[in-house]
């Protein structure tokens, strides 16, 4: 097998219909699970306790780079530790106290993060056409709790805990390569589906992968809890929801 994606696969993917792919690899948080609602509720309560006069959106923006920095500098830390580090760093950024209890509340909040309303049904529809793979910046236990909300059996689950690094590290996409190889799926027949340009589309497109952008924030300005990608990237398809993506597959686009 190739150790990287063939450059020719870029053109090949762009000339294909969605229905020509065999497998979908998904980011989970931001795409299937509403991590902004989950993180935002914890940050909102903390900010209110301390009289921080920022909107929830402003808190998410302030938080975003702190989580990415924690993941970059502590790639083998479990995700709850990353969340706690990011919470403490946010407090330092804003000059507001973060107690151990505050950090613990965010660190243990993943099981409470809601699934997007369209995620379960869309995944069930897509499972009729594709193998489904998760490539997520989370620990195994956290994803298991989220998967109960999604209610779908994935063909493979790759977490930051199992890989030992966090996206946008290319190590995570190396692990994805190995996974599809083991499943006997040609890499050009894999379609990567994600909300985050920073975590997913920039590194995936750097490897010549074909991607679908689920632009959950299409009606909102800015990047929210996801860092600015600081790069120009062009996903091959863009949809505003998982339901819209599933519709496009079933209509043969």
Helix, strand, coil percent content, the chain, rounded in steps of 5? 50, 10, 40
Q: What is the distance of C-alpha 137 from the center of its chain?
A: 7
Distances (CA, A) of 3 to 135, 184, 189, 225: 18, 15, 16, 32
Catalytic hit among 11, 27, 34, 247 = 27
- Cα separation, 94 vs 225, whole angstroms: 16
Among all chains, which residue has been given the structure tokens 């969605």? 18
34 flagged as catalytic: no
Instruction: Name the DSSP letter for residue 124.
Output: H
Element (H, E) at 143: helix 140-150
Q: Where would I find the beta strands (DSSP E) of the chain?
A: 23-26, 131-136, 156-159, 190-194, 210-214, 237-239
**Could you tell me if 180 and 133 are in contact, meaning their C-beta atoms sit under 8 angstroms apart?**
yes
Sheet with strand 190-194: strands edge to edge:
156-159, 131-136, 23-26, 190-194, 210-214, 237-239
Annotated catalytic sites, by residue?
A: 27
């Amino acid at each position: 097998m190739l150790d990287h994606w063939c450059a020719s696969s870029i053109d090949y993917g762009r000339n294909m219909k969605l229905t020509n792919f065999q497998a979908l690899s998904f980011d989970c948080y931001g795409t299937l699970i509403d991590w902004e609602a989950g993180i935002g509720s914890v940050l909102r309560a903390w900010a209110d306790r301390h009289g921080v006069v920022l909107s929830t959106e402003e808190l998410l923006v302030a938080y975003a780079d702190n989580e990415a920095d924690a993941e970059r500098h502590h790639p083998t830390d479990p995700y709850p530790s990353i969340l706690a580090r990011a919470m403490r760093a946010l407090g330092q950024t804003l000059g507001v106290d973060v107690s151990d209890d505050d950090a613990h509340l965010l660190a243990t909040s993943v099981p409470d993060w809601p699934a997007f309303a369209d995620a379960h049904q869309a995944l069930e529809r897509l499972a009729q056409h594709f193998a489904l793979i998760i490539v997520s910046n989370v620990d195994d236990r956290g994803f298991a709790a989220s998967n109960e909300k999604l209610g779908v059996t994935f063909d493979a689950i790759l977490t930051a805990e199992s890989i030992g690094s966090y996206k946008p590290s290319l190590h995570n996409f190396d692990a994805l390569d190995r996974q599809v190889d083991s499943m006997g799926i040609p890499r050009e027949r894999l379609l990567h589906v994600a909300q985050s340009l920073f975590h997913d589309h920039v590194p995936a497109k750097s490897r010549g992968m074909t991607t679908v952008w689920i632009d959950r924030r299409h009606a909102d300005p800015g990047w929210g809890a996801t860092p600015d990608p600081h790069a120009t990237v062009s996903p091959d398809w863009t949809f505003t929801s998982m339901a819209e993506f599933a519709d496009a597959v079933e209509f043969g686009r």
